[in-house]
Amino acid sequence: MKRAVFPGSFDPITIGHLDIVNRGLKVFDEIIIGIGENTDKKYMFSSDKRAEYVETVFKKNNKVTVKTYSGLTVDFCKKNNSNFLIRGLRNPSDFEFEKSIALINRKISDIETVFFLTSIENSYISSSIVRELIRNNGDYQLFIPKGITI
């Protein structure tokens, strides 16, 4: 069975994340969405709330599980018997940033990173933009999966 981890903060989950998971399921038998704690980030939502949102989106999909973690993502992968990471790429700067992390991860472990390009219609969406819409009473519902109430 091919199991992959899709790590991120998911603060909040967007339709771009949903797209990456759905396309990842065409390649992998199971995807673990790893909701990480990054000490450099200031979150809008608690890790429990972020996990709740993601679980709501995938509650009917038995190929997707949701877990929270702290520490190195490669350690989380090993703990969950996964040799693959999934990352979404929106633009060239995403690629440069993610490439560096993927190379380091490969150097310190046997974890391979698989990149998925975002769909054109989702390439401009980011959690930080959605948070800004939420803070300023904008129409954020256009950019998060249906079924989530914030």
Residues serving a catalytic function are 17, 41, 90, 127
CA separation for the pair 23, 70 (Å, rounded): 26
Give the CA dihedral 99, 105, 110, 115, nearest 10 degrees: -30
Mention every residue, 6+ apart, whose C-beta is less than 8 A from residue 144: 12, 13, 14, 15, 53, 130, 150
Closest listed residue to residue 66, CA positions, set 33, 19, 22, 25: 33
What is the SS3 assignment for 5?
Answer: strand
Determine the distance from the C-alpha atom of residue 55 to the mean position of all C-alpha atoms in its chain, rounded to a whole number: 13
Residue 141 in tokens: 């519902």
